[in-house]
Structure 1
Amino acid sequence: MAYTNSSLVTYKRLTNNRTSPRNHAIDTITIHCIVGQWTAKQGCDYFATTDRQCSANYVVGKDGSIGLSVEEKDRSWCSSNAANDNRAITIEVASDTSHPYAVTDKAYEALIKLVADICKRNGIKKLLWEADKSLVGQVDKQNMTVHRWFANKACPGDYLYNRHGEIAEKVNAILGGSSAGEDKETPVTTATLYRVRKTWADAKSQKGAFKNLSLAKACADKNPGYSVFDENGKVVYSNSVSQTEDGVFTPYKVKVTDSALNIRKGAGTNYAVSGVIRDKGVYTIVDEANGTGATKWGKLKSGAGWISLDYTKRLV
């Protein structure tokens, strides 16, 4: 097969960290997070100069730039698995440096366009995602893989991992196909996708879009305060008693049990301290979130910040 590279590339610098040629036809897409809000140029320059034996076929920058580091005819050294990298196009996407390793809107949009272009040129008619490691290599059932399946890593981070179903949906819309993971005999419409959000109106809070309801429920269970919505915006599952039927968060009061509870600027110990609660008083929580350093974080009604709910007692 005569391989080509994407015409969407805005910067090219090839690395020697590659195996040439790849030994398998391209039939898989593997998306990574680069753990740094870099441009494509910065990513490609890094792979071209690093002493580490690592690389990727493409780098998607925070500004939507797209870099070519390893040509498609060659295998990158990206996923800790030679068999996967020989059959996959690997893409590093600029991301935040901490959980959930979020990417910018420009990077996300560029990623969708790049993946669609790769699929078109390599005969991948539909992108399939079932979030099932046991399906690796069974490209008729699932042709997206993730680094965390091959190594003890968080890659591609929960932000991108939870959006793999949505990525497949958007790419397939460009390709003219159906949603991810469909039965070949029965076309699936986007109405079968379940979206995990704080509220239906808060699209930016979305953790993922899933064909499988059980996968959507599992995602919601990992994110307190989130619900599963059908395509019409109706709540079909919620993991929090603080959610009403329409998915709107219901504030509640807690009593602080710690003598010096830090208030942080965000939901996690990785955020700066903005104040300290010392009075063991009663406070109103208007939102919840997962984050490092606590089972669950609560947002104060005053707007002062977030506190660990591990050091509070909820009041009825």
Structure 2
Amino acid sequence: MAYTNSSLVSYTGLSPNHSGQRTHSIDRITPHCVVGQLSAETICACFPAGRDASCNYGIGTDGRVSLCVEEKNRSWCTSSNANDQRAITIECASDKTEPYTMNSAVYATLVKLCTDICKRNGKSKLLWFADKDKSLNYNLKSDEMVITVHRWFANKSCPGDWLYARLGDLAEKVTAALGGTAQTPSADTSVWYRVRKTWSDSKSQIGAYHSLSNAKACADKNAGYSVFDESGKAIYPNAAASPSAVPFMVRVSISDLNIRKGPGTNYARTQYIPVGTYTIVEEADGQGASKWGRLKSGAGWISLDYCTKV
């Protein structure tokens, strides 16, 4: 594929922080809050050699666009190699505190830039599902692009609640500008999500859905029920994030999950935990996650929101 960069760019300050040419075609856009009312130039300056972070584009507080990493290259922006290989990442000037509000110039440019990205990559629709599982597992059509967010891959608020609440509006505005129809695609009818008390108790089933979001809504309305995929695995509520007897085993599948000295993001990070299976010997509530787990090894605590109970 022949990659191009946006003609909306008014400043180029290329960062050396990238992985070279991406290994997947572009079919995602991931907008971020930069946590500061920065200029387009300053956003690029945030990513010097050695920082281990970057983005494809920056949108300054006056709405001007900077190019930090060319579209052909994978930036280091969302704590997920898999996402960054597919996504155009955009750092947007914002307030420094929650909800990380962006001004009207930044938001208007974000709409224009996302429209331009979609158009140059042959897309006529930008989708927003507000659901991590659906977004990452949806089988995109050739003319579709999907929005993803940093908070799905790391213990972060990014892109902030201000922009998160407007991502549906962003998708609609971009799709309208592209001449497409702003609508949520139909669910994959080849997949069933079943709502039961336990997988083994088939008589307890109260619903089967092609839409994961509909299955989750059913489980939310019926205490004691969970959503199971076709293999019988409970996928909602997150079993690892719910109170349970310890010890128990969890599987870590992401390569950048922090180990912290205590149960919360207010405790210092010590290292990343390698992908693998671990024993949790204690659970606790804490800042930045619905539940924290203490590792049997004594290395520290991890967020159970990013683990799968086994």
User: Shorter-chain-normalised TM-score: which range?
Assistant: 0.5 to 0.7
Alpha-carbon distance in 2 for matches of 1:93, 1:50 = 21
CA distance in 2, matches of 1:182, 1:167: 17
Cα distance change, pair 30–85 in 1 and its aligned pair in 2 (3 A): same
Amino acid at match of 1:110: T
Quick one: which amino acid aligns to residue 145 of structure 1? T
- Pairwise mapping of residues 104-123 of structure 1 onto structure 2 (< 5 A)? 104-123=103-122
Aligned to 1:164: 167
- What SS class does the counterpart of residue 44 from structure 1 fall into? helix
Q: 1:139 to 1:174 in 2, by over 3 A?
A: farther
CA distance in 2, matches of 1:36, 1:51: 21
Q: Distance in 2 between matches of 1:113 and 1:100?
A: 23
1:143 maps to 146
Separation (CA, whole Å) in 1 of partners of 2:133 and 2:7: 34
Q: How does 1:291-310 map to 2 (within 5 A)?
A: none
Do the aligned residues in 1 keep the contact of 2:15 with 2:49 (CA within 8 Å)? no
Which residue of 2 is the match for residue 95 of structure 1?
94
What count of residue pairs does the alignment treat as equivalent? 187
Alignment partner of 1:2 is 2:5: no
Given that 1:130 and 1:180 are in contact with CA atoms closer than 8 Å, whether structure 2 keeps it comes out as no
> Would the alpha carbon gap of residues 16 and 50 (structure 1) be closer, same or farther in structure 2, given more than 3 Å must change?
closer
Quote how far apart the aligned CAs of 1:176 are: 0.5
Counterparts of 1:183 and 1:33, CA distance in 2: 30
Gaps of 5+ in 2: 188-212, 217-310
Deviation string 1:193-232 (CA, Å, 9 cap, x unpaired) is: xxxxxxxxxxxxxxxxxxx99x9xxxxxxxxxxxxxxxxx
Would the aligned equivalents of 2:33 and 2:100 in 1 still touch at CA under 8 Å?
A: yes
Equivalence for 2:133: 134
Counterpart of 1:2, as a letter, is: A
Describe the shift of the 1:124–1:36 C-alpha distance in structure 2 as closer, same or farther (beyond 3 A): same
Calculate the TM-score normalised by the size of structure 1.
Answer: 0.56
**Percent of aligned positions that are identical:** 54
- Kindly state the Cα deviation for residue 179 of structure 1 after the two structures are TM-superposed: 1.6
CA RMSD in angstroms comes to: 2.2
What runs of 5+ residues in structure 1 fail to find an aligned partner? Answer: 185-211, 216-316
Q: Does structure 2 conserve the Cα–Cα contact (< 8 Å) formed by 1:28 and 1:139?
A: no
- Residue 165 of structure 1 contacts residue 180 of structure 1 at CA under 8 Å; is this kept in 2? no
Which structure 2 residues correspond to residues 215-294 of structure 1 after superposition, within 5 A?
none
**Distance verdict in 2 for CA 1:137–1:31, change over 3 Å:** farther
**2:27 corresponding residue in structure 1:** 27
Please state if 1:60 is matched with 2:59.
yes
1:83 aligns with 2:82: yes
Contact 1:127 1:180 in 2 (8 A): no
Distance 1:180 1:153 in 2: 29
3-state SS in 2 of match to 1:168? helix
Larger Rg: 1
Output the CA distance in 2 between the equivalents of 1:10 and 1:69: 11
SS at match of 1:20: strand
- The separation in 2 between residues aligned to 1:81 and 1:66, in whole angstroms, is 24
